[in-house]
Chain A
Amino acid sequence: MHELAITQRISEVAIRHAQENNATRVTDLYLVLGDLSSVVDDSVQFYWDIVTEGTLCEGATLHFKRIPAELRCKDCEHTYTLTNGKLSLCPQCESANIEVRQGKEFQLESINIE
């Protein structure tokens, strides 16, 4: 259900921008997804055709750019990337005093229109 609502939201944003630019159709959408954003691109893709039927977005291709989760240790300043999304302590000093620098993103970067 969650991904369905999100897919509808994506198409709404794209359609609004397409209309502002007097487009007759949207051909491509470029989305940015952080690894910590909890959005499953497969599910969005699954709902996409159903949600966009009969709209300016019908037939448009979704492009996903995934942003890896990047963490920074506040104790030793070491910056590292999460692999497999598994949380880990700072690999350099084993501190748990860590902040997320990136990986929570979820936005529509751009669209191609005709």
Chain B
Amino acid sequence: MPKKVPVVEKIHKVNDQLALENRAKLDEAGVFSVNLMASPGAGKTSLIERTLKTLGDEYNIAVIDGDLASSIDADRAAAAGATAVQINTGGSCHLDAHMLRNAFAELDLKKFDLLLVENVGNLVCPSGFQLGTHKNVLIASTPEGDDKPYKYPKMYQNVDVLIINKTDLLSLLSFDMEYFTKGVEILSPGLTTFPLSCQTGDGFDAWIDWLDTQMMSDE
């Protein structure tokens, strides 16, 4: 005779639990941490490079890079002055809390003030897996088109900060900022947003100020 067993368990429970443990480790070490998510080519590594250039003298910064393969991004972060750890996900489309925990083993977290985690370039899967970082940041870029909030709603819903990169290209593109912003507003009303260009540095100060403020309130 079959028997019904109530389960009522979130499928992401294991990951969520590990994410909480990661957060506890980061808090104990006194590191402020950011999970950077974006589609491939939106400018995650460029944002990291420019952030390192701007804040590298002031803070000790570690970078954890997630990619399917290669150490190109970690090499770039290291060249820009960071202590960098590369995670090769071996095909997985996102970082999860377990992978981040393994990367922690390669870092003496106490040495750092700021940890930048570069997620796998993907606008779908990373949003479903909390890592335990203090903030989730999404980098959109103007060449991707103004319809992305409408097409990838989950990503735009689960972030604390939105960066709109490559604003220097706006004059070349048919990117309707009003349409884009309206989509964002539906998903995340009042979302903190920084339009900027990692190439020219235009608008970059606001992002740096935000990071600065977060790190100060974190301490």
Apart from the given pairs A2-B128, A87-B183, A111-B7, 16 other A-B contacts in the complex at a CB distance below 8 Å: A1-B92, A1-B93, A2-B92, A12-B14, A13-B7, A13-B11, A13-B13, A21-B3, A36-B154, A86-B150, A96-B185, A96-B186, A104-B157, A109-B7, A112-B3, A112-B4
**B residues contacting the other copy or chain, number (CB 8 A):** 33
Task: Tell whether A38 is near chain B: CB-to-CB under 8 Å.
Answer: yes
**A residues contacting the other copy or chain, number (CB 8 A):** 39
Q: In the complex the two chains form, is A87's CB within 8 Å of B9's CB?
A: no
Contact with A along B1-23 (1 / 0, CB 8 A): 11111111111111000000000
A108 to B182, CA, bound (A): 34
Query: 18 A-B Cβ contacts within 8 A?
Result: A9-B11, A13-B9, A13-B13, A28-B2, A36-B157, A38-B124, A38-B127, A87-B153, A87-B183, A96-B182, A96-B189, A106-B11, A108-B8, A109-B8, A111-B7, A112-B3, A112-B4, A113-B2
Q: Which residue of B lies closest to A106 (CB)?
A: B11
Write out the residue numbers on chain B whose beta carbons fall within 8 Å of the beta carbon of A18.
5
One of A10, A28, A100 near B157 (C-beta < 8 A)? A100
Task: Tell whether A110 is near chain B: CB-to-CB under 8 Å.
Answer: yes
Write out the residue numbers on chain A whose beta carbons fall within 8 Å of the beta carbon of B11.
6, 9-10, 13, 106-108
